[in-house]
């Protein structure tokens, strides 16, 4: 009870810092983030905050709250929109149920390299900004995870061997993959992965080597298949009203630090892919290329889901895909 009251008090305090009127003049900004402090996304954000705090002086000071310690991942976007906190980080594709445009970066096998992912982001970004603006939100920067691969408890050579298994889902795309592959999607946040596998709630997942390392996947899994299925991105958003209430100097400090964070984050993601994959191997995970059958199976699923996404996204989705491919 005492812990819950402390948590409520923290959120109440955060809310007073960004509500309209005199409260908007306050300089202390709490920033909830969903991943562990050692994660490369969180390290990048820590540097972003350091640069903002150094350049903005008394105008604004940001404090990071990683690993869902202040606000749970599913609630971060709405908390920023509603002014409970002024700024936050979340996985872009978590919002696909609100608008299909948010899911473009997580369409399986649409963009399977960093170069392709950057082209897709260039096509997706202005559409994301337009949708976010309708909720009173501003995009500051967006950084990809390493390419997604398949983790299993035992070796598999085809999608058919995954049939009936419970599969960790964290967005619309992973739920769709599970359904197409005959698996059972189960919503699990990254911080809950070890418990979910240890208790048998899930038997397989598709995620980055970074999340595999963060969750010490070698404690409960044996195989990692390098599928390069897609490169989902996180984004950092800010409440537009809170941002507009800052001095021009503070706004510049934030936008310049955000631009630097985006460049640095993409570079860090590339390095993270290599380092995290090596760490998985060193800790006993069998890191393998998928069989030709598995590649073909997942490629077919990817084609189905790309077409399905285009239909759900309508004209904007078709325009995005055309811009990306051209």
222-251, pLDDT tens digit by residue? 999 999 999 999 999 999 999 999 999 999
Mean pLDDT across 185-197? 93
**pLDDT over 90, % of the chain:** 87
> What span, in angstroms and rounded, lies between the C-alpha atoms of 196 and 154?
17
Closest of 270, 240, 265 to residue 254, by C-alpha: 240
Domains 2-92+111-144+231-276 and 149-230+285-325 share a fold: yes
pLDDT attached to residue 173: 86
- Going by CATH, does the domain composed of 149-230+285-325 fall within 3.90.400.10? no
pLDDT attached to residue 17: 44
pLDDT band at 172 (very low <50, low <70, confident <90, very high): confident
62 contacts: CB under 8 Å, gap ≥ 6: 29, 30, 31, 49, 52, 53, 87
**CATH classification code of 2-92+111-144+231-276:** 3.40.190.170
165 contacts: CB under 8 Å, gap ≥ 6: 183, 184, 203, 204
Q: Where are the domains of the chain?
A: 2-92+111-144+231-276, 149-230+285-325
pLDDT attached to residue 292: 96
């Amino acid at each position: 009870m005492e812990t819950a009251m402390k948590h409520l008090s923290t959120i109440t305090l955060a809310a007073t810092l960004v509500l309209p009127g005199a409260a908007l003049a306050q300089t202390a900004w709490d920033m909830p983030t969903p991943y562990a402090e050692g994660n490369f996304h969180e390290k990048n954000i820590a540097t972003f905050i350091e640069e903002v705090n150094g350049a903005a002086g008394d105008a604004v000071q940001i404090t990071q709250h990683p690993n869902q310690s202040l606000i749970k991942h599913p609630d971060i976007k709405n908390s920023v929109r509603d002014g409970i906190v002024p700024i936050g980080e979340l996985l872009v594709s978590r919002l696909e149920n609100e608008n299909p445009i948010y899911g473009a970066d997580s369409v399986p096998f649409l963009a399977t390299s960093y170069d392709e992912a950057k082209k897709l982001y260039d096509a997706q970004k202005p559409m994301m900004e337009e949708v976010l603006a309708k909720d009173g939100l501003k995009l500051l920067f967006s950084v990809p995870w390493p390419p997604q691969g398949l983790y299993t408890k035992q070796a598999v050579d085809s999608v058919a061997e995954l049939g009936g298994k419970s599969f960790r889902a964290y967005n619309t795309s992973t739920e769709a993959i599970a359904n197409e592959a005959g698996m059972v999607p189960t919503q699990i946040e990254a911080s809950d992965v070890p418990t979910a596998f240890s208790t048998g709630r899930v038997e397989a997942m598709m995620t980055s080597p970074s999340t595999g390392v963060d969750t010490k996947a070698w404690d409960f899994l044996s195989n990692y298949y390098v599928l390069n299925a897609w490169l989902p991105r996180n984004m950092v958003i800010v409440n537009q009203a809170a941002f507009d209430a800052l001095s021009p100097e503070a706004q510049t400090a934030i936008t310049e630090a955000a631009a630097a964070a985006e460049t640095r984050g993409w570079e860090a993601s590339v390095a993270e892919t290599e380092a995290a994959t090596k760490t998985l191997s060193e800790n006993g995970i069998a890191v393998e290329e998928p069989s030709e059958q598995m590649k073909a199976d997942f490629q077919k699923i990817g084609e189905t889901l790309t077409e399905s996404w285009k239909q759900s996204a309508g004209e904007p989705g078709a325009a995005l895909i055309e811009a990306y491919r051209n």
